[in-house]
Amino acid sequence: MPRPTCLLAVAALTAFGPALAADPAPTGSRTIVVGGDRDYPPYEFLDADGRPAGYDVDLTRAIAEVMGMRVEIRLGSWADMRAALRDGRIDALEGMSVSEEREAQFEFTPPHTIVHHAIFARKGTPPVASVDALRGHRVILHRGGIMDDVLTGAGMGDTLIRTATPADVLRLLASGEGEYAVVATLPGTYIARQLGLTNIEPVATGIAAHPYAYAVREGDAELRTRLAEGLAILKKTGRHQAIYDRWLGVLEPPAVTWATFAKYGAVVFVPLVLGLLGALAWTRSLHREVGQRTASLAREVAERQKAVEELRVNQQQLVQADKMAALGVLVSGVAHEINNPNGFILLNMPTLKGIYLDALEILDEHHGAHPDLTLGGIEYPAVRDEVPRMLDEMQGGARRIKRIVEDLKDFARREDAPAMAPLDLNAVVQAAVRLVEPSIRKATRRFDATYAAALPAVRGNTQRIEQVVVNLVLNACEALPAPERGVSVTTGADPARGVWVRVADEGVGIAPEHLPRLADPFFTTKRESGGTGLGLSVSAGIVKEHGGTLTFESRVGEGTAVTLTLPAAAGGGQA
């Protein structure tokens, strides 16, 4: 790619005025003189041989070719070129940022790109976040550029230091002049890299964005139309994108494509699927082992006490096994992989919304001039109403992903010796409900959760109490014969019972003879559907460990209610 090298040669060429470069097209009744800035890389500049080069130059030549126009490209100082267009010494400028003030002087084609601006500062300078924050500071910028118009119009003209070129802006800043510099992001990055200005850096990007288009003299509708038509042809044939990628794409962050999304999706979700399949195989293996042990216990009643004692010794392993069977053994690792790309969404979504809101005024003006304006194939009024809502929904969804992932990581955290501390039972129940929300939605259309206000704190281990509540809610969902039946979760407290949570369902109910055995190890009424008989047994052990109780009420055909009761923490304060 051509580069603006040999700065002394460029400076010498600058002193002798605009460069001339004739680009004859195959046909054309007259030569169109197109001007530009000789020091605005990578958009337009003079290369090491003094010839016009850059994105704008290649685009102008391509338009001339497809439209059969003869063009002559002249690059000089920006102020001279702008005056030359106004005075009629040239026919067009190949790149000018569009503003309301400039539209009163010139006519513009549809934009061929967007120019973003950034604030640069010497390393160690306190950063600023917006154009308004520059008020009262000495700011260096390009004379006659769009940001000169913006800051002067905002009443900051007295503190501005104006230079002839963007390169002079950054050289002055690097030498110790001024406090901040405002330069277009790509030229600023390009020039700082070429000049080796390692003591300056961008401290705020995306502070302003302006459409960048061809400009012609007011009233020259014929030339504006021909340029616009040529630009449209280049966009349709893909040549505009190729020119853009050659000069600008290498300096901008790569866009997230569907291929990239699929690649990272595979990195995240393939291990998750493999982990879940492994967990399923491990669970089935456990089922077979449990079945064999149950048969052995039936044959060897005399050894029952010994088996129960062994079960108690292995209680901690069964607690962790039950949790991992529910979540999958790779939850913590996969949660980290999900958080990384989700973090990009949370970080970039406010910036995207800000860019859209900054562009609304320009889009509204363009829509006023073009009532049939469409964006992405959708009419502009619909886009204007829907895009902010879509961005908010996307950011809300990303926050929800982050919250669920954090809940999963907390739930899966292993604790060999559970730490007891005062906790808020409402918060624990809410986290458990979030974890099983997909199962709730699949099982019922009628789910209700009521949380009592000002519950006393209870002393316990958050992860283990959460595990009990998850087990109770999943059991309630599995008991429903149809989605029309409901599930409810209620919390409360009273001096006689302590602090409690009640999970009730409108399911098939439990036979009276089975109620006393629900907490027995390996007892289950759902063995055909994969039940192990360990869930309620493990839950009962956890509740007993916390000094609480687990009680059951059920009627066949009407439903079941399970109440977990825990003693209030000493002191009776709220969590």
Specify the CATH number for the domain of residue 97. Answer: 3.40.190.10
**Is 2 a domain residue?**
no
Q: Residue 34 forms beta bridges with which residues?
A: 73, 92
**The last residue of a domain, from among 387, 412, 437:** 412
| Per-residue pLDDT, 450 | 94
* Per-residue pLDDT tens digits for 476-519: 999 999 999 999 999 999 888 899 999 999 998 888 888 878 87
CA 158 to CA 162: how far, in whole Å?
11
User: Higher model confidence: residue 490 or residue 1?
Assistant: 490
Same domain, 365 and 437: no
**Residue 36's pLDDT band (cuts 50, 70, 90):** very high
In this predicted structure, the answer to whether residue 8 has a pLDDT above a threshold of 50 is no
Same domain, 72 and 166: no
User: Which parts of 70-165 fold into alpha helices (H)?
Assistant: 78-87, 100-103, 146-153
Same domain, 242 and 279: no
In this predicted structure, the answer to whether residue 16 has a pLDDT above a threshold of 50 is no
- What amino acid occupies position 114? I
**Is 1 a domain residue?**
no
User: How many other CB atoms are found less than 10 A from the CB of residue 244?
Assistant: 18
Q: Could you tell me the CA-to-CA distances from 94 to 61, 188, 420 in Å, in that order?
A: 10, 20, 71
| Per-residue pLDDT, 24 | 39
Sheet with 486-494, edge to edge strand ranges: 446-450, 486-494, 498-505, 559-566, 549-555
User: Higher model confidence: residue 363 or residue 527?
Assistant: 363
Same domain, 229 and 207: no
User: Higher model confidence: residue 150 or residue 331?
Assistant: 150
Q: Which of 119-133, 254-268, 277-291, 326-340 has the highest mean pLDDT?
A: 119-133
Same domain, 430 and 552: yes
Q: What does DSSP say about strands 458-460 and 19-23: parallel, antiparallel, or unpaired? A: unpaired
Same domain, 439 and 557: yes
| Contact present, 19 and 51 (Cβ < 8 Å) | yes
In this predicted structure, the answer to whether residue 23 has a pLDDT above a threshold of 50 is no
* Per-residue pLDDT tens digits for 170-215: 999 999 999 999 999 999 999 999 999 999 999 999 899 999 999 9
**Residue 418's pLDDT band (cuts 50, 70, 90):** low
In this predicted structure, the answer to whether residue 105 has a pLDDT above a threshold of 70 is yes
Helix axes 221-237, 239-247, angle to 10 degrees: 90
> What's the whole-number average pLDDT of the chain?
83
Same domain, 207 and 264: no
Percent pLDDT > 70 in the chain is 79
User: How many other CB atoms are found less than 10 A from the CB of residue 485?
Assistant: 19
DSSP 8-state code for residue 12: H
In this predicted structure, the answer to whether residue 326 has a pLDDT above a threshold of 70 is no
**Residue 60's pLDDT band (cuts 50, 70, 90):** very high
Percent pLDDT > 90 in the chain is 49
Same domain, 542 and 493: yes
* Per-residue pLDDT tens digits for 537-572: 778 888 888 899 998 998 998 999 999 999 988 765
**Residue 19's pLDDT band (cuts 50, 70, 90):** very low
In this predicted structure, the answer to whether residue 313 has a pLDDT above a threshold of 60 is no
| Per-residue pLDDT, 520 | 73
**Is 147 a domain residue?**
yes
Candidates 575, 572, 564, 571; CA nearest to 497 is: 564
CA 200 to CA 218: how far, in whole Å?
40
* Per-residue pLDDT tens digits for 341-390: 877 787 788 888 888 888 888 988 888 888 888 888 888 888 888 888 88
| Per-residue pLDDT, 151 | 93
**Is 573 a domain residue?**
no
Which segments of 262-397 are extended strands (E)? Answer: 374-375, 378-379
Average pLDDT over residues 461-474: 89
| Per-residue pLDDT, 298 | 77
| Per-residue pLDDT, 10 | 35
| Per-residue pLDDT, 15 | 35
Candidates 9, 3, 62; CA nearest to 34 is: 62
Helix axes 380-412, 425-435, angle to 10 degrees: 110
| Per-residue pLDDT, 1 | 38
CA 344 to CA 351: how far, in whole Å?
11
**Is 173 a domain residue?**
yes
**Is 572 a domain residue?**
no
**Is 207 a domain residue?**
yes
Same domain, 167 and 270: no
Same domain, 364 and 274: yes
Same domain, 292 and 156: no
Count the domains in the chain.
4
| Per-residue pLDDT, 27 | 37
Expressed as residue numbers, the domain containing 448 is 421-566
- What amino acid occupies position 442? K
Q: What is the pTM of this model?
A: 0.43
Same domain, 498 and 467: yes
